[in-house]
Structure formats: C-alpha cells, structure tokens
Amino acid sequence: MPRAARDHGTDGWALVLPLKPLAVAKSRLTDYAGPLRPGLALAFAKDTVAAALRCPAVERLLVVTDDPAAREALAALGALVVPDAPGSGLNAALAHGAALLREARPEAPVGALSADLPALRPAELGRVLAAARGPRRAFLADAAGVGTTLLTAAPGVALRPAFGGASRERHRASGAREITLPRVDSVRRDVDTGDDLRQAWLLGVGPCTRAAAAPLTVDGASP
C-alpha cells in the first residue's frame, strides 16, 4: 500500500471512503439531475476528499472505487485510491479499505466516511473525530436521523460497517456509541436526492459541486 502524502503522527485518523462507478452512483438523483448525475457524484466525492484532507486530524485517506475517472481525479487531490477488490457491495468495500489502512498503520484509529458530503467543513469533521475518540466504535447519524455518515473504530477494534438504509439503528444495535454534537451539520449532510442537494447548497457546497450543479435551477436559483 502506498504511503500517504501527509503524516501527522502516530494517532492521526485513517479514513476510508467508498465510491461506486459513476455510471451507477447516486441513482436517486436521476429524476432531478438527469445526465448531470455522474458528474455530480464525482463532484461530491472530490469536495468531500478535499475537505477531509484539510482536516488536521486526518492522516490518511483511502478511496475504494473501480471507476477510472474517479481514481484519477481523487488521487490528484492526494487520496490513496485502491480498486474494490471484494466487489461485494458497500460494506465489503469499507471493510477492505479499513484492513488496508490497518496494515499500514495498525495503531491508528480508522473511520468510514460517506463520499457524498459536498458541504463538508474540515473544522466540523475535526470536532466529530475528536468526539469519536474512545476504546471502541462510534458513529454519526445523517441529517435525516436514519442513516450514518461516519463510523469509527479504535485501534485493534473491528470497524464492522453496516451502512445502507436504516444504518443508524444497526450501528447502535451493534454496540457503537452515537456521537451527538451540535453545529456539525456539514458532516451529517449527505446527498441522495434533489432536496438533499438543496439543503447542502444552503450550507455552502465546495467548488466542484458548485460548478457541477450550476446548470440546475429551482425557482430561478441553483441548484
């Protein structure tokens, strides 16, 4: 596994982000975004990766994807990018990425972060990661209070991702501690639908999403 571009010490976070092939990513945006959907999916991931890499708490960031365009674009931002070797869905990809990160730095805490957080703020991510510190696993629910945008595990603890659908309840039932912090909306605001994108836009999306969503208008305003 290649070395990360940055090194903040032995206790910095190692994060893994999953990304489907762009042709099938973010399918629930199809009616809203039409042919712009693949470009939006990549833009979300680019803004998420760029913001996460600006967070001082993050030492390594690995993206698991089989999409050639995404591999090139995200590697250019400084992410480590590996193929989806399991090819068995989201949670298998996350477990694979976490295992690779653990091989490189077994003493680092690891986390699985959603790749569709276009309004992500480095300072807010840092606050959530600080709250996630502990001896076991922790998670942050999404803005809807149904899913999960971040799952973490202490060194030596299996990540055990259970993302997809009502993952908040699954992670809670698995023994992971829920992180409850105010004013971390950008870390909770994932984007699956047009309404999600409008809410992220109000928070302030990154430059890639702003450019990709510019052709979309709602009541005369973007996105």
Binding residue numbers for phosphoenolpyruvate: 148, 164, 167
Contacts of 144 (CB under 8 A, 6+ apart): none
- Whether omega for the bond prior to residue 56 falls within 30 degrees of 0, making it cis, is no
H or E segment and range at residue 123: helix 122-132
Residue pair 14/106 in contact by the 8 Å Cβ criterion: no
Residues annotated within the binding site are 148, 164, 167
**What angle in degrees, to the nearest 10, is found between the helix axes of 68-76 and 37-53?**
30
Residue pair 91/161 in contact by the 8 Å Cβ criterion: yes
Residue pair 152/55 in contact by the 8 Å Cβ criterion: no
Return the bridge partners of 139, or none.
151, 178
Distances in whole angstroms, Cα of residue 115 to Cα of each of 40, 45, 68, 156: 12, 5, 16, 24
Q: How many CB atoms lie within 10 A of CB 155?
A: 15
Residue pair 35/193 in contact by the 8 Å Cβ criterion: no
Cα angle, residue 22 at apex, residues 102 and 100 outer, rounded to 5°: 10
